[in-house]
Amino acid sequence: MQDIASRLRRDGRVAGALYLVVVLAGMVCLAYVPSRTGATLAEAAAHADLFRAGIAAFLMMQIAFLLVPLALYRVLADVDRRAAVLMVALAAVSVPIGLAAVTHRLEALTLLQGADAGEAAQAAFAVSIQRYGYGLRIASLFWGLWLLPFGWLVLRSARLPRLLGLLLVLGGIGYVVKVFGGLVPGFADSAFAQYATLPAALGEIGSCLWLLAFGARQGRMAAPVSRS
């Protein structure tokens, strides 16, 4: 019989490696590239290669994000199978939404590569970037929702530090509040909106690094099924 502790360490490190791809690719496509390429056709044209790299990083992030919850399922399913299934489902839902959103980024890329830099092209570029942002807003709702069962499973099992589980739950709530709060005028400029997802960032990066370095601990196991 395979040693449970060894299996958890191994499966945890696999999940951590995949999570690292999500974290690094996300930093590139969601933070670094937008800060450099700007929101206008002229600004993006000055960093066309970086704009393309951002799209590639986003696609890589989506592939890895589809695999991360499946890897975490192997680590946490015996704690509460229904919660683990919910975790996988909520994360998986965000992937097609994210892929649909990035098609608008691809539309913007065709404008970037075209010779026309007139007002019509600039307006079309701005609309494509805006639609991409709308898609990300919907995807981010599920980026938050999947953290709720994930964090709860960590809190219940202690296979990662419980502080990380708490941060994941708070971060998930922060994502959801930020998405719905964005429908309220003035909310985007509030201090809460600026820091709502900070616990999620700390919890996800912390979970990624912990899993990568240590794997998952044995923690609490579900009661074994008795056999007659």
Whether 224 is in a domain gets the answer no
> Is 131 domain-assigned?
yes
Average pLDDT over residues 187-197: 87
Q: Is there a domain that residue 25 lies in?
A: yes
- Show the domain range for 191: 4-214
Q: In angstroms, how far is CA 138 from the centroid of its own chain?
A: 12
Q: Confidence class of residue 133 from pLDDT cuts 50, 70 and 90?
A: very high
Question: How many structural domains comprise the chain?
Answer: 1
Instruction: Please say whether the beta carbons of 14 and 71 come within 8 A.
Output: yes
User: pLDDT for 43-56, tens place per residue?
Assistant: 998 999 999 999 99
Task: Please report whether residue 16 resides in a domain.
Answer: yes
In a domain, residue 173? The reply is yes
DSSP string covering 31-73? IIHHHHH-SSHHHHHTTHHHHHHHHHHHHHHHHHHHHHHHHHH
Domain membership of residue 138 (yes or no) is yes
In this predicted structure, what is the pLDDT of residue 1? 40
pTM, rounded to two decimals: 0.90
CA–CA dist 150, 153 (Å, integer): 5
Question: Which pLDDT does position 192 carry in this prediction?
Answer: 85
Look at residue 221 and tell me if it is in a domain.
Answer: no
89-102 pLDDT tens trace: 999 999 999 999 99
Domain assignment of residue 44, yes or no: yes
